[in-house]
């Protein structure tokens, strides 16, 4: 039997859940989710230490005041189980489950241009026709596992952090190897070090990280936020990263040594990585100003880590602060003072292969019972590219994007009408706090659908000119930012062979929303409505 609905939403993560809530009020909606539960990122990522790196009072939904007043976050920075519990609570509280089909990954999408309908086929055998697709497929869902040879010979166990088993594991007699020191590796290392017999951290590029200062939520802090939510949520939308910061008013160059230290000490203890990036007016645009912050962090590392050689190896020196995601940790650098932890530099001596008993780098062999890959993701485009998506005239998305993605404002792809994306390529992505910025994008797309319905339109596409304009804006804005001096998943340089254009819009959330609003107010300029 063929079902026909108005909207198919792909993904029941935080954006997909909100899209389901928002759109099911007026339209017939189905939300397909690959996982067996809701929560997206917070359903999958259950590795030891998994925790949000933005304060939970901010990293939470704003759409319903009763929800934000009722919900109690146990800690400043919630751990994965609390975030998953929150996602489930929202699904239950707003009766979203009647629209959601779990363990049901979308495999293919085909546009039927005669009828302006999408045909959706899923792994569980569902076949649905719908007028609109909202792809809330997540920026970080397809794991990146470098193709080292010898994997089949290795007799231990390999886990990518995003596929961590649900059952508790006893690591007390295990020699664990952790590859990768991004946000994930930095969170996992302290816990793995406590639980395992030994931990060897294989580091290619050291992270800049600052202490989260996480602790149990104190009542005063919670009350203060709950009393001021309406104004704070508005204010957040006007910040560069949709997260509360106090903008520095001076350039780093204008400050005395003493002033610099004062400002940076305050930022270091602010519980916000974004605060380090705005401590001075020019941290993210001027490499010399950035270096002031970088050296401050290096000195912190030198002060924490006992062994000077290890400390120096942990100091990032090849890219600017904030050029890739700055980490916020719970005792990461202190971990290297433990007797059972060692650090191996795989920049100078890369990993060559996995062996029967562990792995081999260009300099030596390491025996490991478990290898933990905290090696990141085929980010931003991976999840959509993994589906078979066919637009007008049989054009395949994988073909269109083979050199890298192009989109209009991150919402649409020319030749793929009525396919709308949340956190799509060339949106601010993780350069903004993703729940609030996701809600904003869902509201924008809902407004587009509502206006089409009101005007009797059945098709919205975009043009290659509009895509080209947004491509240039995205690349140009990055050329003014220090991000251009770092290889990261923002510019696809984390995956070998990718072109290296910016896939994340680093011009700040306010500029992104301003340009989005301008398009809407200009009769949906750049969108081709029929």
Residues that bind ligand NA7 (CB under 6 A): 140, 146, 179-185, 204-205, 325, 346, 351, 374-376, 430, 489, 494
Tell me how far, at minimum, the Cβ of 379 lies from ligand NA7, in Å.
Answer: 7
Nearest residue (CB) to ligand NA7, 391 versus 425? 425
Say how far apart CA 195 and CA 189 lie, in whole Å. 10
Say how far apart CA 478 and CA 456 lie, in whole Å. 39
Neighbours of 195 (CB within 10 A): 15
Tell me how far, at minimum, the Cβ of 375 lies from ligand NA7, in Å.
Answer: 4
What is the DSSP secondary-structure string of 87-108?
Answer: HHHHHHHTT-GGGEE-S--EEE
Say how far apart CA 98 and CA 344 lie, in whole Å. 50
Looking at beta carbons, which residue is closest to ligand NA7?
Answer: 182
Tell me how far, at minimum, the Cβ of 376 lies from ligand NA7, in Å.
Answer: 3
Tell me how far, at minimum, the Cβ of 205 lies from ligand NA7, in Å.
Answer: 3
Nearest residue (CB) to ligand NA7, 140 versus 389? 140
- The strand pair at 117-122 and 127-135 is best described as antiparallel
Task: Tell me 28's DSSP state.
Answer: -
Nearest by Cα to 413 from 377, 372, 460: 460
Nearest residue (CB) to ligand NA7, 80 versus 181? 181
The gap between the terminal CA atoms of the chain, to the nearest Å, is 29
Nearest residue (CB) to ligand NA7, 362 versus 479? 362
Tell me how far, at minimum, the Cβ of 66 lies from ligand NA7, in Å.
Answer: 29
**Tokens in use for 289?**
């100003």
Nearest residue (CB) to ligand NA7, 181 versus 214? 181
Nearest residue (CB) to ligand NA7, 80 versus 494? 494
Tell me how far, at minimum, the Cβ of 261 lies from ligand NA7, in Å.
Answer: 28
Tell me how far, at minimum, the Cβ of 212 lies from ligand NA7, in Å.
Answer: 13
Q: Cβ(66)–Cβ(58) under 8 Å?
A: no
Nearest residue (CB) to ligand NA7, 12 versus 430? 430
Tell me how far, at minimum, the Cβ of 57 lies from ligand NA7, in Å.
Answer: 19
Task: Tell me 161's DSSP state.
Answer: G
3-state secondary structure of 267: helix
Nearest residue (CB) to ligand NA7, 418 versus 491? 491
Say how far apart CA 262 and CA 239 lie, in whole Å. 23
Say how far apart CA 258 and CA 271 lie, in whole Å. 22
Say how far apart CA 82 and CA 73 lie, in whole Å. 8
């Amino acid at each position: 039997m063929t079902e026909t609905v108005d909207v198919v939403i792909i993904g029941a993560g935080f954006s997909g859940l909100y899209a389901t809530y928002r759109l099911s009020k007026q339209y017939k909606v189905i939300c397909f989710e690959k996982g067996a539960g809701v929560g997206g990122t917070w359903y999958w990522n259950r590795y030891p230490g998994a925790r949000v790196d933005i304060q939970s009072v901010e990293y939470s939904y704003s759409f319903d005041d009763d929800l934000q007043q009722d919900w109690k976050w146990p800690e400043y920075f919630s751990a994965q189980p609390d975030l998953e519990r929150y996602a489930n609570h929202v699904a239950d509280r707003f009766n979203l489950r009647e629209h959601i089909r779990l363990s049901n990954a979308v495999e293919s999408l085909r546009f039927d241009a005669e009828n302006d309908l999408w045909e959706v086929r899923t792994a569980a055998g569902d076949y649905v026709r719908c007028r609109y697709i909202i792809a809330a497929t997540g920026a970080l869902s397809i794991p990146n596992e470098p193709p080292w040879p010898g994997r089949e010979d290795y007799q231990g166990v390999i886990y990518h952090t995003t596929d961590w088993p649900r059952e508790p594991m006893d690591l007390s007699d295990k020699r664990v190897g952790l590859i990768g020191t991004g946000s994930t590796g930095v969170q996992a290392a302290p816990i793995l070090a406590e639980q395992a017999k030994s931990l060897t951290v294989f580091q290619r590029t050291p992270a800049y990280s600052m202490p989260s200062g996480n602790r149990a939520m104190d009542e005063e802090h919670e009350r203060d936020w709950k009393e001021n939510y309406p104004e704070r949520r508005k204010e957040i939308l006007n910040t560069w990263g949709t997260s509360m910061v106090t903008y520095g008013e001076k350039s780093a160059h204008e400050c005395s040594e003493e002033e610099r230290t004062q400002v940076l000490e305050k930022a270091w203890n602010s519980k916000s990585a974004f605060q380090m990036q705005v401590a001075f007016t020019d941290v993210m645009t001027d490499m010399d100003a950035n270096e002031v912050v970088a050296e401050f962090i290096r000195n912190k590392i030198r002060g924490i880590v006992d062994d000077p050689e290890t400390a120096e190896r942990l100091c990032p020196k090849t890219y600017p602060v904030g050029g890739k995601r700055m980490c916020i940790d719970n005792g990461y650098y202190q971990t290297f003072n433990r007797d059972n932890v060692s650090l191996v530099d795989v920049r100078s001596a890369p990993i060559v292969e996995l062996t029967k008993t562990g792995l081999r780098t260009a300099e030596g062999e390491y025996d490991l019972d478990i290898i933990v890959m905290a090696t990141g993701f085929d980010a931003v485009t991976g999840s959509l590219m993994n589906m078979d998506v066919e637009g007008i005239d049989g054009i395949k998305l994988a073909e269109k994007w083979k050199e890298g993605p192009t989109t209009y404002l991150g919402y649409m792809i020319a030749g793929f009408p009525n396919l709308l994306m949340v956190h799509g390529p060339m949106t601010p992505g993780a350069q903004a706090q993703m729940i609030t910025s996701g809600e904003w994008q869902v509201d924008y797309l809902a407004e587009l659908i509502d206006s089409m319905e009101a005007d009797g339109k059945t098709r919205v596409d975009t043009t290659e000119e509009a895509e080209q304009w947004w491509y240039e804006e995205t690349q140009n804005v990055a050329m003014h930012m220090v991000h251009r001096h770092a290889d990261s998943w923002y510019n696809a340089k984390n995956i070998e062979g990718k072109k290296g254009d910016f896939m994340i819009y680093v011009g700040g959330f306010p500029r992104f929303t301003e340009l989005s609003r301008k398009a809407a107010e200009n009769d949906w300029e750049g969108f081709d409505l029929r």
